[in-house]
Structure 1
Amino acid sequence: MFVLRRAGRELCATGLRHRLRPGERATLDRRVREALEGTAGQGPGTLVGALPFEPGRPELLYQPEQLLSRELPPRETGTGSMGLFSDRDLREIPSRAEYSAMVERALSRIAGGNGLRKVVLSRQVVLEAAQQPDFERLLAILSLDPDITAYRLDLQPDRGGEPRLLMGATPELLVSRSGRMVASEPLAGSIPRGREPAQDRERARALMASDKDRREHAITVEYILDLLAPLCSELGSPGGMGLRSTATMWHLGTRIEGRLKSADAPTSAGLAALLHPTPAVGGHPRDRALEAIRELESHDRGFYAGAVGHVDSHGDGEWYVALRCAQIEGPRITLHAGAGIVEGSVPDDEVHETAAKFRAMLRALGVTDKPRQAVEAG
Structure 2
Amino acid sequence: MMADHPAHPAVGAATALLDGYGPDDRFIATPTRTLLARGVRRAIPQGDAPLARRVTDALADSPSGVVVGAIPFDQSAPPALVLPESVRTGPPLASDPLIALPVAGPAGARWDIRQDPEPEVYAKGVAAAVDRMWQGEFSKVVLARTLELTGHEPLDIPSMLQRLARRDPSGYTFALPTTPGRTLLGASPELLVSRRGGALVANPLAGSTPRSTDLAEDVRRAAALLQSAKDLHEHAVVVDAVHQAMAPYCSEIDVPARPTLIRTATMWHLSTTVTGALDRPDASALEIACALHPTPAVCGTPTELARTVIRETEPFDRGFFTGIVGWGDASGDGEWVVTIRCAEAAERTLRLYAGAGVVAASEPEAEAEETAAKFRTFLNAVGAEL
Whether TM exceeds 0.5 here: the answer is yes
Q: Does 1:61 align with 2:49?
A: no
Q: Does 1:287 align with 2:304?
A: yes
| Regions of 4+ moved over 4 Å | 77-80
Question: Are the equivalent residues in 2 in contact too, given 1:147–1:245 (CA < 8 A)?
Answer: no
Q: Which amino acid aligns with 2:176?
A: L
- 1:360-371 to 2 correspondences below 5 Å: 360-368=377-385
CA separation in 1, counterparts of 2:286 and 2:26?
A: 16
Where in structure 2 are there 5+ consecutive unaligned residues? Answer: 1-24
Cα deviation code 1:238-270 (max 9, x no counterpart): 474101100100000000000011312x21111
Cα deviation code 1:19-49 (max 9, x no counterpart): 112135x712221111111234xxx511111
- 1:223: Cα distance to partner? 0.1
Give the counterpart of 1:153 among 173, 176, 191.
Answer: 176
What is the match of residue 48 of structure 1?
A: 68
Question: Are the equivalent residues in 1 in contact too, given 2:80–2:177 (CA < 8 A)?
Answer: no
- 1:117: Cα distance to partner? 0.9
Q: Which moved more, 1:222-231 or 1:7-16?
A: 7-16
CA separation in 2, counterparts of 1:297 and 1:106?
A: 12
CA separation in 2, counterparts of 1:177 and 1:95?
A: 40
What is the match of residue 309 of structure 1?
A: 326
Please give the secondary structure, in 2, of the residue aligned with 1:279: coil
CA separation in 2, counterparts of 1:346 and 1:78?
A: 39
Q: Which amino acid aligns with 1:267?
A: S
Q: Which amino acid aligns with 1:211?
A: A
What is the match of residue 116 of structure 2?
A: 93
- 1:9-20 to 2 correspondences below 5 Å: 9-20=33-44
Please give the secondary structure, in 2, of the residue aligned with 1:89: strand
Give the counterpart of 1:241 among 239, 249, 259.
Answer: 259
- 1:233: Cα distance to partner? 0.6
What is the match of residue 213 of structure 1?
A: 231
- 1:209-288 to 2 correspondences below 5 Å: 209-238=227-256, 240-264=258-282, 266-288=283-305
Q: Which moved more, 1:6-15 or 1:45-54?
A: 6-15
Question: Are the equivalent residues in 1 in contact too, given 2:238–2:295 (CA < 8 A)?
Answer: yes
Question: Are the equivalent residues in 2 in contact too, given 1:147–1:246 (CA < 8 A)?
Answer: no
Q: Does 1:132 align with 2:165?
A: no
What is the match of residue 106 of structure 2?
A: 82
Please give the secondary structure, in 1, of the residue aligned with 2:100: coil
CA separation in 1, counterparts of 2:193 and 2:214?
A: 34
What is the match of residue 122 of structure 1?
A: 144
- How big is the alpha-carbon RMSD for the aligned residues of Structure 1 and Structure 2? 1.6
Cα deviation code 1:204-254 (max 9, x no counterpart): 011111100000000100000001112101101247410110010000000
Q: How many residues align?
A: 357
Please give the secondary structure, in 2, of the residue aligned with 1:126: strand
Q: Which amino acid aligns with 1:357?
A: K
- 1:281: Cα distance to partner? 0.6
Question: Are the equivalent residues in 2 in contact too, given 1:117–1:342 (CA < 8 A)?
Answer: yes
- 1:53: Cα distance to partner? 0.7
Give aligned-pair identity as a percent: 41
- 1:84: Cα distance to partner? 5.2
What is the match of residue 9 of structure 2?
A: none
TM-score (norm: length of structure 1): 0.91
Q: Does 1:342 align with 2:342?
A: no
CA separation in 2, counterparts of 1:358 and 1:225?
A: 29
Q: Which moved more, 1:167-176 or 1:103-112?
A: 103-112
What is the match of residue 45 of structure 2?
A: 21
Please give the secondary structure, in 2, of the residue aligned with 1:225: helix
- 1:294: Cα distance to partner? 0.5
Q: Which amino acid aligns with 1:173?
A: L
Question: Are the equivalent residues in 2 in contact too, given 1:240–1:255 (CA < 8 A)?
Answer: no
Question: Are the equivalent residues in 2 in contact too, given 1:327–1:334 (CA < 8 A)?
Answer: yes
Q: Which amino acid aligns with 2:128?
A: R
Where in structure 1 are there 5+ consecutive unaligned residues? Answer: 369-374
Cα deviation code 1:43-88 (max 9, x no counterpart): x5111111101132121111100011013532125675323544x6
CA separation in 2, counterparts of 1:136 and 1:181?
A: 34
Cα deviation code 1:131-152 (max 9, x no counterpart): 2222221111001223421100
Q: Which moved more, 1:357-366 or 1:28-37?
A: 28-37
What is the match of residue 342 of structure 2?
A: 325
TM-score (norm: length of structure 2): 0.89
Question: Are the equivalent residues in 1 in contact too, given 2:70–2:178 (CA < 8 A)?
Answer: no
- 1:306: Cα distance to partner? 0.6
CA separation in 2, counterparts of 1:147 and 1:359?
A: 18
CA separation in 1, counterparts of 2:104 and 2:356?
A: 26
Cα deviation code 1:154-191 (max 9, x no counterpart): 113xx5xxx31000000000000111111100100000
